[in-house]
Chains A and B, each alone.
Chain A
Amino acid sequence: MSTELCSSCGSCGFPMRSAEDHAGGDPQCGYCSTCADPSGTLRPYEDVVEANADYFVREQGIALTAAREMARALLDSMPAWKARP
């Protein structure tokens, strides 16, 4: 986990502007409150895919299957998941 202040989540890229946006309300955490648990530990990949897919469905009304594909494409390009086997 990054110990530097981060303006966007290292897992999903969500812009984090306030302490509440960071996991656990900790501005030192490099992940957002959706992608990591309150201790700042990244949630399992599939859980994060689902959370991001739900966000896309909720905000833009796209199909869940398309939202999951979009979420995977997004996460797989992010620092937190690049090394994922």
Chain B
Amino acid sequence: MIALPAVASQRSRQREATRRQLLEAGLRMVATEGFAGTSTAAIAQATGKAHGTVFLHFRTRDALVAEIVAEIGRSMSDRLAALETATPTLREVIDAHLTALAEHEVLYARVLAEASTLPPAARARLFALQSAIASRLRAAHARARTAGEVRALDAVVAANLWIALTNHYLMNRDLFAPGESVVAKCGADLAAQWLALVST
């Protein structure tokens, strides 16, 4: 006979596994169809679950969309954290950022392209991720400025310039790099150009 706590634990694991299945199906569908083309019914169908099951795990479609964006953000943050030292240089921060972008290029480009129509919570998750990148850049910029390695630019503007540059290429990836990764094709050059702009 299975003890009650063991049953509860098994149910908890099953619940988490189902939630994970739904989230991963959502990520796959967003990559191909975009957020606007991804319905909760289609996610349920892709996982072989009843439509109502989606709402047992995510209160609303907006909550599911916010969680999909959060999942992309967490994964990118993990990459940024794994690559950086305690006091990374500007080059190390933007290289880590490019690596994270390359690993999530398709999904992240979708998030950017549809940002203005995303639910507020999802848009806030995207903005929080960009703030985390900006924060690392600002700190690295401050260290480089102390060392006399960068021009006297406003650190926030310098960080926003990098984010705007990468976002522009990602949102137009079909034009800059048809059929291939825009980060792989253009990332190194963008990094070199941005560093040249901010450096003394």
B171 within 8 A of A: no
A: interface residue count bin: 20 to 34
Q: Shortest Cβ distance from A52 into chain B, in angstroms? A: 8
CA distance A69 to B121 in the complex (A): 10
The main secondary structure of chain A at its interface with chain B is helix
What's the tally of chain B residues with a CB closer than 8 Å to chain A? 25
Judge whether A59 and B63 touch: CB under 8 Å: no
Give the residue name and chain of the B residue nearest to A76 (CB).
B121
B184 at the interface (CB under 8 A from A): no
Looking at the assembled complex, report how far the CB atom of A3 sits from the nearest CB atom of chain B, in whole angstroms: 15
Partner of A15, one of B121, B132, B160: B132
CB-based contact A59/B124 at 8 Å: no
Question: Are A70 and B157 touching (Cβ within 8 A)?
Answer: no
0/1 string, A50-85, CB within 8 A of B gives 1: 000001101111000000011101101100000000
- Identify A69's interface contact among B78, B120, B156, B160, CB under 8 A: B120
Q: Which residues of B contact A38 (CB under 8 A)?
A: none
Q: Which residue of A lies closest to B121 (CB)?
A: A77
Closest to B138 in A: A59
Among B70, B74, B124, B131, find the residue whose CB has the most chain A CB atoms closer than 10 A: B124
Q: Could you tell me if B134 and A17 are in contact, using CB atoms closer than 8 angstroms? A: no
Which residues of B have CB within 8 Å of A28?
Answer: none
With both beta carbons as reference points, the residue of chain B lying nearest to A17 in the complex is identified as B81
Assess the A59–B77 pair: CB atoms within 8 A.
Answer: no
Residues B156 and A60 in contact, CB atoms below 8 Å apart: yes
* B residues in contact (CB < 8 Å) with A: 63, 66, 70, 73-74, 77-78, 81, 120-121, 123-125, 127-128, 130-132, 134-135, 138, 156-157, 159-160
Spell out A's residues near B (CB within 8 Å).
Answer: 7-8, 12-15, 17, 55-56, 58-61, 69-71, 73-74, 76-77
